[in-house]
Amino acid sequence: MTSPAEPSDPERAGRAGGSAGGTPAEDGSFALARLAELLHERGGLVADLLPGGEAPAAAGGPPQLAASGPRAAGRAEEYELVLEAIYEGYLLHYGTPRLLRPPEADLGLLAGDELYALGLARLVALGDLPAVVELADVIALTSLAQGDGQAELARAVWTAGARAVGWGSTDAHRDAKALARAGAPRALEAMRAAAEPDAD
């Protein structure tokens, strides 16, 4: 695992996203509590890594941004839960997780992979294949960025990906993803621009 990458940019983006799609809790506390409950019910490795006590409150981030978009209208709580699962998986790989407390790095990686799979499976169940593609791209591109030591690019990928889930992808976002895959120097600038409202 690399050094923790604090989600400051996505947090700001989540707060700026508003609540047009009916996000249940702007700070993410509701979704994190639901995720902890779901993981406890599922049992297994991930449940064993849950500490006792209440789930911590999130500061708002990619899950809240995605859930506030029109594509999540009427199902904002489920989208927020899905994104929280995948985002927690990401933090288990590259940052500081909010819910789980793995005693060693290898267990954290395994738990992160399980949360990736859980989130994507629930998104498939929602029937939103474009969002599945977007989040699979987020997982792949953040892995590339973190592997290259580009934590800022990883944060921008998350913000742009969350916006694409909530509002739909754009040509600017697709171009930015191509630049990130190619390791182009302009990838960070392009991804940050794609994360802005009305990027096209």
Please say whether the beta carbons of 88 and 139 come within 8 A.
no
End-to-end CA distance of the chain: 35
Confirm whether 52 is domain-assigned: yes
Give, in degrees to the nearest 5, the angle at Cα 130 between 192 and 57: 60
In a domain, 200, yes or no: no
Among candidates 158, 3, 16, 160, which has minimal Cα distance to 87? Answer: 158
What is the spatial distance between Cα 150 and Cα 133, in angstroms, rounded to a whole number? 22
Which of the two residues, 197 and 2, has the higher pLDDT score?
A: 197
User: Does 3 map to a domain?
Assistant: no
**pLDDT-derived band of residue 186, with 50, 70 and 90 as boundaries?**
very high
Contact of 101 with 49, CB cutoff 8 Å: yes
Q: How high is the pLDDT of residue 59?
A: 61
Burial environment of residue 198 by CB neighbours within 10 A (0 to 12, 13 to 18, 19 or more)? exposed
In terms of Cβ atoms closer than 10 Å to its own Cβ (0-12, 13-18, 19+), residue 163 is buried
Residue of higher predicted confidence among 89 and 198: 89
Q: Which domain holds residue 182?
A: 8-194
Count: domains in the chain? 1
Provide, rounded to the nearest whole percent, the portion of the chain with pLDDT above 70.
Answer: 81
Residue 144 · residue 181 · CB < 8 Å: yes
How many Å apart are CA 111 and CA 173, to the nearest integer?
29
Q: Let me know: does 179 contact 187? Beta carbons within 8 Å.
A: yes
- Evaluate if residue 161 carries a pLDDT over 50: yes
**pLDDT of residue 143 exceeding 70:** yes
Q: pTM for this one?
A: 0.82
* Domain presence at residue 2: no
* 22 assigned to some structural domain: yes
Assign 27 a pLDDT band (cuts: 50, 70, 90).
Answer: low
Domain assignment of residue 61, yes or no:
yes
Q: How far apart are CA 56 and CA 179, in angstroms?
A: 36
Q: What is the pLDDT of residue 1?
A: 38
Tell me: the pLDDT tens digits for 94-110? 998 988 888 988 999 99
Residue 16: pLDDT above 50? no
Comparing 15-29, 67-81, 82-96, 124-138, the range with the smallest average pLDDT is 15-29
Residue 1 lies inside a defined structural domain of this protein:
no
pLDDT at 32 over 90: no
Let me know if residue 199 belongs to a domain.
no
